[in-house]
Amino acid sequence: MEKVKVKEEELSDSETPIVKDKYWFQFVVAFSGTFCLLSAAVAFGWNSPAIPKLRLDDSPIPPITGDQSSWIVALMKVGSISASFCAIWLMNKVGRKTLLLMASVPLIISWILIGVAESIALIYVSRILSGLAYGTSYSVLPMYLGEIASNRIRGAISTLLTVMAKFGILYAYSIGPYVSVRLMAWLSIIPAGIFVATFIWLPESPYYLLVKNEREQARRSLTRLRQHENVDEELERMSVAVKKSQENKGTFQELFFDETNRMSLIIIIGLATAQQLCGSQAIIAYSETIFKRVGSTLGASESTIILGVVQLVSAAVSSSIVDIVGRRPLLLSSVIGAAVCNTVVGLYFFLERMEIDVTGIAWLPMLAIMVFIVMYTIGMATVTFAILGEIIKINLKSVAGPTFTITGGAISFIVVKLFQVVSDDLGSDYTFWGFALLTYLFIPFVWFLIPETKGKSFEVILDELNARYRKKKPMSSK
C-alpha cells in the first residue's frame, strides 16, 4: 500500500494528521459574519458625504453648524462604547452569532430615522443607534473569527475584519455624494439585509457551544467549519481549553493583576490608542471636508472615492500577506509611515497659514493623505485585530474585546469631536502635527512590546507570553 507523506509544515495545531482542513468554508463564514461590520461601517463612512449636504440651505433638516457636525460624528462613538459594555455580558449569554444578528436591529432603525428625519435630534439618535451596531461588531467579531479559524489562516481571517470595514466606508463614499441624504439612508439598509439573510444559516463558534456544554452541536459546528468529519482531536483540545477557562473564569481583576494578562492588556490598549491618535478616524470621517480645504484638482467627492478604494485595496493586501510577512514588520511600517505622512500634511497647512505660496505643491497633501491611508491600513487597521484575537486567554476574551473597543471608542470620540474645533480655531497644521507627534511615540511601543505571533497556535503564543512576562519566583532554600 502506498504511503501518503504529509509535510509537517502543512499541518497546523488545529488540523489532524489524517485530513487537511478545507479553508474555503471558513472564509465564507468570515465573509458573511464581517458583513455585520461592513453594514455598520457604512454609517461611519456616511459622515463624509452627508455632513457637507446637511450644512447647505437645501438640507432635509435645518442647516447644521460646525459644532453640530462634530456631534454627528462623535455620537456614533457614544453608542459604540455603550454597546461594548453590554457585549461583555451578552456574548457569553446569547452567543457570538446571535449577538451579531441582534446588532442589525438598531442599525436598520438608525437608517429609517435618517430617512424620515426633519430635525437634528433624530439624526443624533440615529448616530447613537448605529454606534451600537458598530461597537458590537468590533467587540464580538475578533473573538468569533479567532475561534472559527484554523491556525494557518487565522491571521488572514482576522484581518478580513478591516477589509470589510473599508468596503463599507467605500460604499458610503461612492454613493453618498450623488444621492440625497434620505435616499442614501434607504440604500444603506441593503448591506444589513444581506448580512442577516446569509449569516443566520452559518455556524456558531464551537468554543461558545462547548462553554454551554453543547458538545454535539460544537462537533457539528466544527465539522462544518473544517469541511471534514475527523475533528475529534481538535474538539478535545478545545474542550480542555474551555474547561480550563471555566475553572478560571475571566474577570477584570485577573486581566489587570496577572503579569502576563496585564501585559497583553497593555498591548491591546496601546494598539487601540495608536489606531485613534494617529488621526485615522478624523481623516476618514472628514475626508471630503479635508479635500475641499486643500483644493483637490479632482473634486472633493472624487478624491474621497479614491481614498476609499485605496483603503480597501490596502486592507486586502494586508490580509493576504499578514501570515507571510508577519505582524511586527507590518505594524512598524504602519506606525512610521503614518507619522511621516501626518508631518508632511501638517507642513503644507503650516506654509499655507504663513501665507507662503503653495501652488507648486498643491498635490502634496492629497498624496500624503493617500499614503497615510495605505500605511495605516496595512498595519494598525488590520494587524491589530489579528493580534487581539491571539494574545488573550480564552476565558478573558469576553472582557478584553470590549475593553479594546471601549478604549478605542472613547479616544476616537475625543479625536473626532475636537478635530473640527481645533482645525477651525488654531489651524489644520496643529491637528496634523499633533497626530504626527503622538504617532511617533508608538514606534518604541511596537518595537519593544509587540510579539510576533505569525503561524503560532493559541497555546504556543500564551506560553511564550508567560515565559516573557511572568515573574519567576525565587527558589526557597531549605
pLDDT at residue number 431:
94
**E strand or H helix that includes residue 386:** helix 383-388
CA distance 228 to 20: 8
d(CA 246, CA 385): 24
C-alpha cell of residue 5: 507523506
CB 179 within 8 A of CB 53: no
Q: Tell me what pLDDT residue 92 has.
A: 81
Residue 243 falls within a domain, yes or no?
Answer: no
Phi, psi values for residue 65, rounded to 5°: -95, 175
CATH of the domain at 276: 1.20.1250.20
Phi, psi of 139 (to 5 degrees): -80, -40
DSSP 8-state symbol, 441: T
Residue 388, pLDDT score: 79
Residue 237 belongs to some domain of the structure? no
Q: Is residue 238 part of a domain?
A: no
| DSSP 8-state secondary structure symbol assigned to residue 360 | G
Residue 213 lies in a domain: no
Q: Is residue 225 part of a domain?
A: no
Tens digit of pLDDT per residue, the chain (478 long)?
Answer: 444 443 333 444 444 444 455 788 888 999 999 999 999 999 989 998 999 899 888 889 999 988 888 899 899 989 988 888 888 788 888 989 999 999 999 999 999 999 999 999 999 999 999 999 998 998 888 888 888 888 778 777 877 887 898 889 999 999 999 999 999 999 999 999 999 999 999 889 888 888 888 888 888 888 888 877 777 778 788 888 777 766 666 667 777 777 878 888 889 899 999 999 999 989 988 888 888 887 767 777 888 888 889 988 888 887 778 778 888 999 999 999 999 999 999 999 999 889 888 888 888 888 999 999 999 988 898 888 778 777 877 777 767 777 887 888 889 899 988 898 888 888 889 999 999 999 999 999 999 888 887 777 777 777 777 777 766 544 444 4
Angle at the Cα of 66 (from 420 to 410), degrees rounded to 5?
50
pLDDT of the residue at 20: 53
Positive or negative, the CA dihedral 239, 403, 152, 224 is positive
How far apart (Å, rounded) are the C-alpha atoms in residues 375 and 330? 9
State how far Cα 200 lies from the chain centre: 22
Q: How many Cβ atoms from other residues are within 10 Å of residue 128's Cβ? A: 18
Instruction: Identify the CA nearest to 34 among candidates 133, 112, 110, 114.
Output: 133
Q: Is residue 33 part of a domain?
A: yes
Give the end-to-end CA distance of the chain in Å, rounded to a whole number: 60
262 sits in the region (left: phi over 0; alpha: psi -120 to 50; else beta) called: alpha
Which domain covers residue 373, as residue numbers? 22-202+248-467
The length of the chain, given as a count of residues: 478
Q: Output the pTM of the full model.
A: 0.77
pLDDT for the residue 249: 66
CA 299 to chain centre: 29
The domain total for the chain is 1
Question: Has residue 165 been placed in a domain?
Answer: yes
Pair 268, 388: CB distance under 8 Å: yes
CA-to-CA dists, residue 299 to 292, 308, 413, angstroms:
7, 14, 28
The candidate with the shortest Cα–Cα distance to 87, out of 400, 472, 316, 476, is 400
Kindly state whether residue 474 falls inside one of the protein's structural domains. no
CA-wise closest residue to 412 among 270, 267, 280: 280
Cβ atoms of residues 415 and 279 within 8 Å? yes
pLDDT value of position 296: 64
